[in-house]
């Protein structure tokens, strides 16, 4: 069955077509949900909510542009909707003069470790970091998506980068200490 046929059947609430659509796109959409969530359980809930919205709004898809892009946009919006009206999305201060620029140094850190650090960020920082760094949104777009100001977006990004830098530096320092201890024990 072609993608167009599948979409057409989903528009008619065909359960088998919906299941096939889920099987086809859930891995990609789950990775988006995981990127914006604190943990796997929260990501699974967001994926479920996203597909409910997709099934509900698929009649609005007019076959213009990428269908996968349309699905991704719905998924991002569904995940962000949980955070939009939450007070913790706003920065404590919007004084952008105090924003610290974080220099990025090369570090030997695995992608899995970095992703786990990103997931550990407070929601306001994690969401802003993902939207700006990983998805390429501008601060203006982020502020519109989250209902905050451009200054808040910039502040949240700077703080996210600072927290990540501190975590990476701590991890690197711990690795060096463990290496010294192991090396020192072997030569004792």
**Each residue of 60-72: pLDDT tens digit?**
998 888 999 999 9
CB 75 within 8 A of CB 33: yes
Torsions phi, psi of 119, nearest 5? -65, -25
Q: What is the pLDDT of residue 28?
A: 94
Distance between CA 173 and CA 171 in Å, rounded?
Answer: 5
Q: What is the pLDDT of residue 95?
A: 44
> Which tops the pLDDT comparison, 145 or 181?
145
Does residue 24 surpass a pLDDT of 50? yes
Does residue 94 surpass a pLDDT of 50? no
CB 46 within 8 A of CB 36: yes
Q: What is the pLDDT of residue 96?
A: 42
Q: What is the DSSP string of 22-56?
A: HHHHHHHHHHHHHHHSSSHHHHHHHHHHHHHHHHH
pLDDT band for position 99 (50/70/90)?
Answer: very low
> Which tops the pLDDT comparison, 180 or 63?
63
Q: What is the pLDDT of residue 178?
A: 60
Does residue 110 surpass a pLDDT of 70? yes
In this prediction, residues 113-122 reach a mean pLDDT of: 87
In this prediction, residues 36-50 reach a mean pLDDT of: 90
Structure tokens at 124: 């306001």
Does residue 107 surpass a pLDDT of 60? no
Q: Which of 20-29, 38-47, 56-65 has the highest mean pLDDT?
A: 20-29
Does residue 118 surpass a pLDDT of 80? yes
Q: What is the pLDDT of residue 44?
A: 94
> Which tops the pLDDT comparison, 120 or 89?
120
């Amino acid at each position: 069955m072609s993608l167009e046929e599948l979409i057409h059947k989903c528009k008619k609430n065909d359960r088998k077509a919906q299941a096939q659509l889920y099987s086809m796109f859930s891995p990609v959409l789950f990775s988006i949900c995981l990127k914006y969530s604190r943990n796997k359980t929260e990501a699974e809930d967001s994926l479920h909510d996203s597909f409910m919205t997709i099934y509900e709004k698929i009649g609005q898809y007019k076959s213009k542009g990428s269908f996968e892009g349309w699905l991704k946009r719905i998924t991002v919006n569904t995940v962000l909707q949980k955070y939009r009206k939450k007070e913790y999305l706003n920065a404590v201060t919007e004084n952008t003069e105090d924003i610290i620029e974080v220099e990025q140094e090369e570090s030997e850190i695995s992608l899995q470790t970095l992703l786990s650090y990103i997931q550990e960020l407070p929601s306001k920082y994690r969401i802003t970091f993902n939207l700006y760094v990983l998805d390429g949104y501008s601060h203006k777009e982020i502020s519109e998506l989250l209902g905050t100001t451009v200054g808040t977006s910039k502040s949240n990004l700077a703080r996210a980068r600072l927290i990540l830098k501190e975590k990476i530096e701590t991890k690197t320092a711990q690795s060096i200490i463990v290496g010294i201890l192991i090396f020192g024990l072997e030569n004792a």
